[in-house]
Amino acid sequence: MPSALISQPFVAQLDLAAVVKRIDYFDTEIKGFMLEVRPGSKCTYYFRYRDAMRKVRQVQLGKHPEAVVNDVRTKAHQLKNLVKEGGDPRHEILRVRSIPTFEEFVNDKYLPHAKVRKRSWGTDECVLRNHLLPRFGHLRLNRITRASIQAMQAEGHQSRYAAGTINRWVILLRFIFNCAIRWEVLPEGANPTRNIQQFEDNGARERFLDELEVGRLFEEIESNRNTQVGQVVKLLLLTGARKREALDARWENIDFERRLLTVPISKSGKPRHIPLSDGAVDLLRSLPREVDMPWVFFNPKTGKPPVSIFYAWDTMRRKAGIRDVRLHDLRHSYASFLVNQGRSLYEVQRLLGHADSKTTQRYAHLSPGALLDAANVVGGVIARSTGALGKSKQSPSGASS
């Protein structure tokens, strides 16, 4: 039987069209590794071995050209070591084949779990659908490698995705693989995201509106035909509410007498009570209410809260000249207005519903004017002090003492 170093160059130089009968090539380095060549350009990689009963067995490792030779060699080397340790490659192949694909695991295990346990599961589903499933969905979990994840990072960077966005892809992958390990779908240590370095996120920013921008935005809202989205935007800016807190608001959770909008389950998992200013109350009272419609904002076609308002918002912000402002930046702006008017961080924390004051600090923006006013306080104290000192050095007659 012919032997050769079964490698990419060797396979590439084979004249498959000239094959008239089956030829088995055995590798010169890995005992049991072989390539079977049949007429019709059919090439299949196998690993041949003797089991515990000394019977010759053979397992398929892949077919040319779908299988990469180097990957197949690695697999054959692993099976060779397994046989030395007393294992049976057939059992190993069956175990590997029982591992679900990434798409199967996500749809059958992860998303059902996330929908119950994570309020942000919709964000996970969006990232999975748009970025992770198209790349990894067809691969079994144990076939997703560190190199393939690093390649995703590199391609994302080349496609000009923000560093923070790419990092979120890796973070979600890491969490999903940790779930697979915790649920015993994969063995310990099988997380391919381990030791993958995230990109340095220099693009993180704190964007908030100034008064002129608010004026332009409200002018655009008044002229825009999508009145409902305009009302949502106004409510977000008047209350500092999160997007879904406003979109999922129900009339039964609004107490006009106590001037509160109650969020039954907030981001922290607990009820949250949002104080309603005069402007917010006036806005809510102006909204039309339909009989048997519990939602404050709803899609007329489905009778349910809007899933997304991005496209209408995108039109508004572009026409208002604030194309870089995100919906969540309205919450930033709410906090910045409070701080710039002298309200304490404790008050801002309570109004935003933060459990930790450290979270509030990122919203505590101060305008350059407010900072200058603060700096001038010290200057004023010094001026008064030096002025008083100068006067004390003069005698009642005006001469120096």
Q: Which pLDDT does position 369 carry in this prediction?
A: 60
Average pLDDT for 217-241: 94
Residue type, 82: L
Kind plus residue range of the DSSP H or E element containing 23:
strand 23-27
Weakest mean pLDDT among 66-70, 235-239, 362-366 = 362-366
CA distance 75 to 147: 17
H or E element: which one contains 392?
helix 368-392
Q: What is the mean pLDDT of residues 341-356?
A: 82
- 370/343: higher pLDDT: 343
Q: Is the dihedral of CA 86, 88, 93, 94 positive or negative?
A: negative
Q: Which residues contact 126 (CB under 8 A, 6 or more apart)?
A: none
Sign of the CA dihedral with 317 first, then 322, 325, and 327 last: negative
- Judged against a pLDDT cut of 70, whether residue 386 lies above it is answered with no
Q: Please give the full DSSP string across 269-311, using - where no structure is assigned.
A: SS-EEEE--HHHHHHHHHS---TT--BSS--TTTSS--S--HH
Q: What does pTM read for this prediction?
A: 0.53
Residue 346, classified by CB atoms within 10 Å of its CB into exposed (0-12), middle (13-18) or buried (19+), is exposed
Which backbone phi and psi does 45 adopt, to 5 degrees? -95, 135
CATH class of the domain at 3-97: alpha beta
- Report DSSP letters for 233-246, one per residue: HHHHHHH---HHHH
Partners of 275 in beta bridges: 260
Question: Is pLDDT above 90 for 359?
Answer: no
- Angle of the 211-223 helix axis to the 310-319 helix axis, nearest 10: 120
pLDDT reading at 68 higher than 90: no
Contact between 359 and 346 under an 8 Å Cβ cutoff? The reply is no
Classify 219 as helix, strand or coil: helix
Choice among 88-102, 189-203, 344-358 with the minimum mean pLDDT: 88-102
CA distances from 85 to 52, 80, 82, 255, 286 (A): 11, 9, 5, 71, 77
CATH number of the structural domain 211-361 = 1.10.443.10
List the Cα angle 295/330/328 in 5-degree steps: 75
- Cβ of 58: how many Cβ atoms within 10 Å? 14
Residue 401 pLDDT: 39
Residues in the chain: 401
First to last CA, the chain: 117
DSSP tag of 64: E
pLDDT tens-place string over residues 133-190: 999 999 989 889 998 999 999 999 999 888 888 999 999 999 999 999 999 888 888 8
